[in-house]
Amino acid sequence: MKSDASKLGFYLLLAPILLWLIVLIILPHIGLFMVSISEKVGPREFETGFGNYAAFFGEPLYWRTFARTAIMSILATALTLILGFPIAYYIAKLTRGRTKTTLFLMCMIPFWVSELVRTFGWMILLRETGVISTTLQRLGLVSGPVELLYNDAAIMVGLVYTSILFMVVPLVTTLDSLDDSLIEAGYDLGGTSSSIMREIVIPHAMPGIVSGCIVVFMLSLGNYLTPILLGGKDSLWFTGMIYTQFITRFNWELGSALGFLLLALSSAIVFLGLKLSKQSLSNTMGRT
């Protein structure tokens, strides 16, 4: 009797997440998959087949854009890690009490503003008539206005800026859990700052590093706004391409196929990353 009641409770608690998964994730994906495997042979005539997938591999623009998106995202992830790690280490290990809370909050404050507004902020800074360009001209360092927008570097800046919080938070959490006496023991046994970082801090922070990297990579890969606004028309971002298929070209079949490929390929890259760093998904996601 009692076990029946506890079972009911278990299923009741499970219900919201199951509903969410089924209605919002699994069902749309099944629908998307159905659309992606239907080839248009005439007006309102469809055949089942993998023609849309073949189109991705057949058309260099598609897979090159994908490769470019993936490489840029990996680069953005690496940059975010390089920038985020010292910040997280400083917050977690070198400050305490109020300072720690304040610094953590300061990392968070920009994220209270919508991503669109933040990206426009960058545009104000980087555009031809923007703050940086004007300042450089005033200082006499350049003779005419400089356009800093609409290139890959601008996209990279935007991506790193957008996702750094998602790197800092898991890193602070894992670094916080590193006992200070382990670092002291490292010094006591003759370790140098770099060897302690390499042998003690980084192995301990590995789950946080990996989970931060996964989140940042996925966010960058799936980002639409930043590459379009900061990269301009030539940004060639894979999500932009999917958008074009759905909205401009009205080719839902190819759009769905591209969407599915994005999911599959990004999963493959994450899987590869986990294998290379010898971490498991449950280990990295379970801890943060």
Partner 1 sequence: MTNIESDLACRDLTKDFDGFRAVDHVSFDVPKGSFFSILGPSGCGKTTLLRMIAGFQSPSSGDLRIKGRSMIGVPPNRRPVSMVFQHLALFPTMSIGDNVGFGLRQRGVGRSEIARRVEEVLDRVGLPGVSARRTDQLSGGQKQRVAIARCMVLEPDVLLLDEPLGALDLKLREHMKVELKSLQAAFDTTFVYITHDQSEALVMSDNIAVMNQGRFEQIGAPHEVYHAPHTAFVAGFVGDANRIDARVSAVNGHFLTLTSAASTEMKVKVADNSLSVGQGVQVFLRPEAIELSKTSKSLDGDHNVSQCTVTSVLFNGANSSVIVRDAGGNMINVAMPQTGSFADLHAGDMVFTSWHPNKARCYPLARA
* Residues in contact with partner 1 by the rule CB under 8 A: 179, 181-182, 184-192, 195, 199-200, 203-204, 206
Under DSSP, the state recorded for 252 is H
Displacement of CA 11 from its chain's centroid (Å):
33
Q: Distance (Å, rounded) from C-alpha 165 to C-alpha 171?
A: 10
Is 32 or 200 the residue whose CB approaches partner 1 more closely?
200
Considering beta carbons, is residue 45 or 188 the nearer one to partner 1?
Answer: 188
Give the residues across from 39 on adjacent strands.
47
CB of 235 to partner 1, least distance (A): 41
Q: For 37, phi and psi rounded to 5 degrees?
A: -95, 10
Least Å from the CB of residue 138 to partner 1? 47
Q: 114 in helix, strand or coil?
A: coil
Sequence-distant (6+) residues with CB within 8 A of 69 are 221, 236, 237, 238, 239
* CB 209 to partner 1: min, Å: 13
Quote the least distance from Cβ 1 to partner 1, whole Å. 40
Residue with Cβ nearer partner 1 (182 or 264): 182
Phi, psi torsion values for 24, nearest 5 degrees: -100, -20
Cα 84 from Cα 260, distance rounded (Å) = 31
Closest approach, Cβ 120 to partner 1, in A, equals: 44
Cβ distance to partner 1 smaller for residue 47 or 176: 176
Q: Which is nearer to partner 1, 35 or 171 (CB)?
A: 171
